[in-house]
Structure 1
Amino acid sequence: MDGQDSETPVNTLTWLIAALAPARKTTIVDVGANPINAPDYAELLRIGGCKVVGFEPQAAAFADLQKNKGPDETYFPFAVGTGETLKLRIYKSSGMTSIFDPYVPTMAMINEMGMARVRETTAMETVALDDTPDLPEFDLLKIDIQGAENLVFQGAERVLQGCISVMVELRYMRLYHGEPMLGGVDNELRRQGFYLHKFMFNKAYMLTNSQARRLKAKKLQDQLIDGDGVYLRNIAELAHYSDEQLKHQAILGAGVFHSHSLVLYCLDALVARGVISGDLPGQYVDRMPEALRTDGRR
C-alpha cells in the first residue's frame, strides 16, 4: 500500500489527542537528531502533539536544530552511548559519520565509494541516557547513529523500562566494520522487552555492473542496505501497560507509525478498562483515510 494512503489526517490526529487527553504530551527522545530529513514525528510536533528531546554532537547540525526549534523542542550537543570516550570518524557525507570505519567492499558494490571518505577523526565523549540529569519520562526513543545503537540501548536500560516504542535504523548489508547489524540490534532490543512491529521504509541500491549505463537504476534497486524499524514493548501483554502508556502508544501509532490497527488495539484496551467511551474506536475508523475502510460487510 502507498505510504500516503495510510497517513493519518491532521484533523483525525488532533481529535484523537483531545479524546484521549493524556496527562502530559507524548515525549520523544531523538538520538542523532541531525536534520537531514524531516523526522517521522514532524507532523505530530507541528500540531503541538508531542515534545522532543534531541541529542546531536555534530556542531553544524546542532546549530541548525537550535536555529529552527520550536517551543516543544530541546536539544543537547552530546553524543549518547555508555559514557565512555569513543573515536568519531567524520565522513564527507555528514549522514555517514560514525564511530566505525567504512566497510569499503559494500560501497564499491553499490558504486558509492564517495560515502566511504572519512575527513577526520576526533575523540568524542558520550553520555549514557541513564546518567542524563533531568531527562523526562519518554514514550519513543528514535535513534539513527550509524551503527552505535546498541551502545545507547546498553546505557539506557533504566530509562527504557518506562519507554514503549523504539524507532531504529536497521542494517542488512554491512556499511561499517564492527556494527551490530539487524541481528545484533534485534537481540538487544528483545533482551530489553521490545519486539519488531513494522518497517517504516527500506533502502536498496542497484548492484554495480558492466551494463549500468543502459539501466534505470531506480527500477533495479535489488540489494537491500538498511531501513527504519519500529519496535514496541510487548503488545501481546497489554496488562503491563498503564492507561497512560496505552494512550501514548495510540498517539504514536496514529501520528508517527501510521499503524491504525495498533491505534484501535490500544483504544479497545482502554474501552475494556473503562477509561474511554466505547464508541471511540468506531469514531476513529470514521476518521481514517477512506482508502483503508470498507462498508463493514464481509
Structure 2
Amino acid sequence: MTDATPSQLALLLRPEHLTRVVDIGANPIDGDPPYKPLLARRLCRVVGFEPQPEALARLNAAKSDLETYLPHAIADGQHRTLHVCAASGMTSLLEPDPHVLSHFPGLGDWGRVLDRRQIDTVALSAVPEIDGIEMLKMDLQGGERAVLDGAGDTLAEAVCIQLEVSFVPLYKGQATYGEMDLALRARGFIPHMMASTSRRMILPMRGPDVYAALNQLVEGDAVYVRNFLEPDAMTSEQLKHLVLVAHYCYRSFDLAVNGLHHLGRRGVVPADAPGQYMRIVQTGG
C-alpha cells in the first residue's frame, strides 16, 4: 500500500534520487522487509533477487512500479550446487551441517537435503539492473560472504547493509558472525543494531513446542551502517540516504539527527534541520 502523504523529511533533505535498495533473498518468509516504509512512501526503488520460482512469482504478482525482481542466485559468479531442503527457508548454496543441526529441535528435519541442483550464480557487480546501492539486504542462508566476494565496487555508495549473521554456523563452510563483522568493517561499515535474533533450545532438553528456547543464540539479522564516526568520508548524498534509512527503516532517530547535523554544517540543509526533524518525529511525519 502507498502512503500518498508527502514525506516532510524527504522535502527537508531533497536527495538527488530515490534510495536504491537491493534485496538478495527477497522471499518475505519472515515478514515485511525493513525498507517497506520507504517503499510505501515512494522514497526508494528495489531490485530484488529470488531464485525459487514460486516465491519469485508471488513477488512479481504483488510488486509496484518501483520494484524489479529477478531470478538470479547472487553469489560470487561461480557454478555452484543449490541444496534444496525440506524447509524452503533452509535451501542454500551451502550444505547443511547435520552434526550442528542435530543439537537443536526441528532443525535436523528442516535441513534435510531433498535435492541438489547445479546452478550458475551471478556476481552482484555483473547485474546490469543495478546502477548503485544505498541499502543492501541479504538473507541467503549462509551465502552472505560469497555476495561480498562478488560485489566489487557496487557497495561504494552503500550506507546500510542488513544481513543474516550466524553465531552457530548451520551450514558447512559458513562464515561466522565474527568473520562477517571483519569483512564489513574492512568496507567501511560498523554495527548499528540487531534487527532480530533467533534462539534455540539445546537438545536433549525439549520445550512445549519446537520453537521453545532459552538462551542459545543461533542466528540474527544485523544492521551495519557506513561509519558515522568518520562523516567526512561520506558524500552529502550518502548522508541524506543514511538519514532516510535510519528514520524510516529502523526508527534510529539519533543516527538521523547525527546525519542532519553534518549536512547542516556543510550548508546542504538548513542549520536548524535537526530541530525541524525532531518536530517531524514528534508529529509522526
TM-score, normalised to structure 2's length?
A: 0.91
- Is the 2:94–2:142 Cα contact (8 Å) retained in structure 1? yes
- Within 2, Cα distance between the matches of 1:224 and 1:138? 30
1:129 corresponds to 2:124? yes
Q: Tell me, in whole angstroms, the C-alpha distance in 1 between the residues paired with 2:18 and 2:190.
A: 24
Instruction: Tell me the equivalent position of 1:203.
Output: 198
Unaligned stretches of 5+ in structure 1?
1-9, 291-298
Structure 1 position 148 matched with structure 2 position 133: no
Distance 1:228 1:11, change over 3 A: farther
Residue 73 (str. 1) matches residue 64 (str. 2): no
Cα deviation 1:83-129 (Å, max 9, x = unaligned): 11100001121111111221223323221122221121101111111
Unaligned runs of 5+ in 2: none
Aligned letter for 1:225? V
Where 2:270 maps in the other structure, the secondary structure is coil
Contact preservation (8 Å) 1:13, 1:255: no
2:231 to 238, 262, 270: 238
Q: Distance in 2 between matches of 1:240 and 1:103?
A: 41
Higher mean C-alpha deviation, range 10-19 or range 228-237? 10-19
- Matched residue, 1:170: 165
Q: How many aligned residue pairs are there?
A: 279
Match of 2:103 in 1: 109
Distance in 1 of aligned mates of 2:224 and 2:23: 15
Amino acid across the alignment from 1:105:
H
Task: Decide which structure has greater helix share.
Answer: 1
SS in structure 2 opposite 1:212? coil
Q: Which AA in structure 2 matches 1:42?
A: K
RMSD: 2.1
- Name the amino acid aligned to 1:66: N
State the alpha-carbon separation in 2 of the partners of residues 276 and 84 from structure 1.
Answer: 45
Mapped partners of 1:63, 1:102: distance in 2: 26
3-state SS in 1 of match to 2:34: coil
Looking at structure 1, the residues matched to 198 and 21 of structure 2 have their Cα atoms a distance apart, in angstroms, of: 24
Q: Which residue pairs with 2:52 in the alignment?
A: 58
Corresponding position of 1:24: 17
Mark the CA change 1:177 to 1:237 in structure 2 (over 3 Å): closer, same or farther. Answer: same
Please point out which of 210, 220, 223 is paired with 1:227: 220
2:82·2:117 contact (CA, 8 Å) conserved in 1? yes
* TM-score, structure 1 as length reference: 0.88
Cα distance change, pair 211–118 in 1 and its aligned pair in 2 (3 A):
closer
CA contact (8 A) 1:207 1:222 kept: no
Aligned counterpart, 1:92 = 86
